[in-house]
């Protein structure tokens, strides 16, 4: 009944193409696009070349689509199965104040909130102090300069058992954003913390 009602609504108000592509996907089906890779200092969970991955990232980022966030979260959940989440916190790459205000949400935080389980801790340990142009519009050398000193450490009191921080972005190309943010985290937290740079897609 709900499917019939949704199809009627979609006929009157067609959703964006990216939403149409993923709205019937299950998490189990979406996990078929899981493809773990280590690229320099970044762990990537899938390829942005897959249309379904690209559609989910676009739907989450620009349309605040819950199903898209849930599907993307399923990839992180699969990767995190080998972790003791009691000792791990997740940090989303922050947006600039301007972009956060314009968008109204951080798309990476929305994904993290959809990871199932009661042990997940999401902590804001970084602030973006510089409004940068989108990385996709720049060549590699410019990307590195674009995010140089773009982040500051936000002091937080962490539970004593925490020893691993997973820094998450939705898409990486050169790894420049995660690399810059990861270095800021390392300086702020100290060398005894393990910082993992994680991207959903590359």
Phi, psi for residue 127 in degrees, rounded to 5: -125, 145
The per-residue pLDDT for range 115-170, each reduced to its tens digit, is 998 889 999 999 998 766 554 555 555 655 566 678 999 988 898 999 999 999 99
Domain range for residue 158? 2-201
Q: Is the pLDDT of residue 44 over 60?
A: yes
Kindly report the CATH number assigned to the domain that includes residue 81: 3.40.50
Question: If 0-12 CB within 10 Å is exposed, 13-18 middle and 19+ buried, where does residue 86 land?
Answer: exposed
Predicted TM-score (pTM) of the model is 0.88
Whole-number mean pLDDT of the chain?
Answer: 89
Q: How far is it, in rounded angstroms, from Cα 108 to Cα 6?
A: 27
Total domain count, the chain: 1
């Amino acid at each position: 009944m709900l499917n019939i009602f949704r199809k009627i609504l979609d006929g009157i108000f067609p959703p964006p193409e990216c939403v149409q592509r993923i709205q019937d996907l299950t998490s189990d089906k979406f996990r078929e696009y899981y493809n773990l890779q280590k690229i320099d200092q970044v762990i990537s969970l899938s390829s942005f070349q897959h249309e379904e991955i690209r559609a989910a990232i676009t739907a989450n980022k620009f349309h605040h689509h819950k199903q898209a966030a849930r599907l993307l979260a399923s990839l992180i959940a699969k990767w995190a199965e080998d972790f003791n989440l009691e000792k791990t916190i997740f940090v989303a790459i922050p947006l600039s104040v301007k972009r956060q205000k314009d968008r109204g949400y951080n798309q990476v935080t929305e994904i993290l909130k959809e990871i199932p389980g009661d042990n997940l801790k999401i902590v804001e340990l970084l602030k973006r102090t510089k409004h940068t142009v989108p990385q996709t519009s720049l060549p590699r050398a410019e990307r590195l300069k674009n995010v140089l000193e773009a982040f500051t450490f936000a002091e937080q009191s962490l539970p004593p058992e925490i020893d691993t921080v997973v820094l998450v972005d939705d898409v990486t190309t050169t790894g420049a954003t995660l690399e810059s943010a990861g270095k800021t985290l390392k300086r702020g937290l100290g060398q005894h913390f393990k910082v993992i740079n994680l991207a959903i897609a590359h």
